[in-house]
Structure 1
Amino acid sequence: MKNTNPIGLFDSGIGGTSIWKEVHALLPHENTIYLADSKNAPYGLKSKEEIISLSCKNTEFLLEQNCKLIVVACNTATTNAIKELRSKYDIPFIGIEPAIKPAAIQSKTHTIGILATKGTLNSELFHKNVSNHPDVKIIEQIGHGLVQLIENGDINTPEMRELLESYLYPMVEKNIDYLVLGCSHYPYLIPEIKKIIPSSIKIIDSGEAVAKQTKKILEEHNLMNDSKELSSQLFYTNSNPKVLENILNNKEKVFFKAF
């Protein structure tokens, strides 16, 4: 495995670019390949078997591109499929899970909210993480419809505002002081969320932690790219490439591929 080989990242769509941005910011010399499986978004409504199958398909695409490490930049895919991916493929995987632990530890009201997909909230891994914090009340909310709106580029719309208000107001009423975003799409909603919830409620997502873990695993496996050449960033999608281009502010080249 060459150190200059790319880091692979995949998600059920464009949301995992929020993770890619953190990884690229921390590791600017690393080449990356991002795979957006928008055609099959959202994963959160699919069965565990379907999620595993799609995750394997995405992994094999990235392995064909000679990726040296794969970031599963999707909460639903991580919580439902990463165990199977690690047992099936001989490559390091980095998962992304809702940041329950830091929120639970730091909460003063002992009540935190989590906004996530159905697939994440119903997963065995999520329930295991929740059980580690019996003294904290966790208000769970499925973000029905949010991923679809983000995938369509409808972030700053009345429909999005209405959905977010219906999900967040009940959490605020229950005195949460931390809101955990349990889907890699949701960081793109932070500006809208901040208009709805009190400023005293802290919002947590997993991007920075995933980037730090990626660096740690690269170092442990001696896979850090020590080249100082300009790095290459490739993006693939099986849906409308314009949506992905817009979320990246047209700064990166996006390729359509019917995988």
Structure 2
Amino acid sequence: MSDAPLGVFDSGVGGLSVLGDLRRALPGEDLLYLADTAHVPYGARPDGEIRDLTARAVSALHARGVKGVVVACNTASAFSLGDLRSRFDMPVIGLVPAVKPAVLSTRSGVVGVLATPGTMRGTLLADVIREFADPAGVQVLKAVSTELVPLVEAGQADSARAREVLREILTPVAQAGADGLVLGCTHYPFLAGSIRAEFGDTFTLLDSGAAVARHTRRVLEERGLLSARTSGGTEGFLVTGDPARAAPVITELLSRALGPANVQNEGEVHRALPRIERIQT
């Protein structure tokens, strides 16, 4: 048993979608979330720079005494997991795009993957397509954007511009008959409302957050690191950029991921502003 916190890392605020799944799977764990907001987005950065930024962030969490780290970033997972596991004597858990459940659930035989340029370049996505989609004869169509992550980071997941970008890049996927859409970036579950506003029920949306949360619980149990607590876990937040700028977006996305906290204001329930600390990695 261990009451040390579990680290959660993303290039920005998108990993809060995974944090929500981790909280539901691990209600007694303290979660320490690090967003590298000074360097987001990672998707268009060179491969070596992605590995370096990820290693620095995980090192910062390790220095804070975490018992393991969930790399809640598809791009960082695509390039860094092997390197991280060789550096740190603690569990390092990454994300795998949810291609397998998309293949198992498709009726049309066509699925889409919405991801960042970095995830598209990495071998992880290609590996799961080769392992699951190709043997089943399922066609995988890729859609990529450099604009969606910054929109979510700016609190504009439901904006007209987000819907416009999604319409541009996903219309060909819909027209090709895709009935499932893999959200291959942790920012993208926060775009679900915009995707449905543009495409209705065309796509079943799939992400890997719940699966990675279940896997994380298994890993902690197997290594004797699970907290003895069954409830009452807390969340702490670290950012490499401006905390004041990050706070409103983190608060809004936390409310989506976790539900609103019991803070009453003029008849409405809101989540209190989280405490956010700025660090250097």
With normalisation by structure 2, the TM-score equals 0.88
Deviations 1:132-184 (A, max 9, x none): 22111110011220000111111221111110100111111000010000000
CA distance in 2, matches of 1:10, 1:28: 18
Corresponding residue of 2:250: 244
Q: Contact 1:29/1:230 (CA < 8 Å) preserved in 2?
A: yes
Corresponding residue of 1:16: 15
The letter for the 1-side match of 2:218 is: K
CA distance in 2, matches of 1:172, 1:17: 28
CA distance in 1, matches of 2:115, 2:69: 22
Higher mean displacement: 234-243 or 107-116: 234-243
Superposition RMSD in Å: 1.4
**Aligned pair in 2 of structure 1 residues 204, 228: CA closer, same or farther (>3 Å)?**
closer
How far is the alpha carbon of 1:228 from its aligned partner?
5.0
Corresponding residue of 1:254: 275
CA distance in 1, matches of 2:54, 2:176: 36
CA distance in 1, matches of 2:44, 2:34: 20
How far is the alpha carbon of 1:214 from its aligned partner?
0.6
Corresponding residue of 2:165: 163
Q: Contact 1:244/1:254 (CA < 8 Å) preserved in 2?
A: no
**Aligned pair in 2 of structure 1 residues 164, 200: CA closer, same or farther (>3 Å)?**
closer
Higher mean displacement: 225-234 or 67-76: 225-234
Deviations 1:11-59 (A, max 9, x none): 0000000000100111110011000111111111111101110111111
Structure 1 segment 9-158 matched on structure 2, within 5 A: 9-132=8-131, 133-134=133-134, 135-158=137-160
Residue 168 of structure 1 aligns to a residue whose secondary structure is helix
CA distance in 2, matches of 1:150, 1:59: 23
Equivalent position to 2:220, from 218, 221, 224: 218
CA distance in 2, matches of 1:200, 1:155: 19
Higher mean displacement: 193-202 or 92-101: 193-202
Q: Contact 1:233/1:252 (CA < 8 Å) preserved in 2?
A: no
CA distance in 2, matches of 1:201, 1:162: 17
Higher mean displacement: 242-251 or 30-39: 242-251
**Aligned pair in 2 of structure 1 residues 251, 234: CA closer, same or farther (>3 Å)?**
same
The letter for the 2-side match of 1:183 is: C
The letter for the 2-side match of 1:155 is: A
**Aligned pair in 2 of structure 1 residues 120, 229: CA closer, same or farther (>3 Å)?**
closer
Corresponding residue of 2:266: none
CA distance in 1, matches of 2:240, 2:252: 16
Identity, % of aligned positions: 33
CA distance in 2, matches of 1:62, 1:216: 21
The letter for the 1-side match of 2:150 is: Q
**Aligned pair in 2 of structure 1 residues 61, 174: CA closer, same or farther (>3 Å)?**
same
Equivalent pairs, count: 258
Q: Contact 2:6/2:29 (CA < 8 Å) preserved in 1?
A: yes
Residue 147 of structure 1 aligns to a residue whose secondary structure is helix
Residue 190 of structure 1 aligns to a residue whose secondary structure is helix
Residue 15 of structure 1 aligns to a residue whose secondary structure is coil
**Aligned pair in 2 of structure 1 residues 229, 75: CA closer, same or farther (>3 Å)?**
closer
Q: Contact 2:43/2:146 (CA < 8 Å) preserved in 1?
A: no
Corresponding residue of 1:179: 181
How far is the alpha carbon of 1:200 from its aligned partner?
4.5
Q: Which runs of 5+ in 1 are unaligned?
A: none
Q: Contact 2:158/2:193 (CA < 8 Å) preserved in 1?
A: no
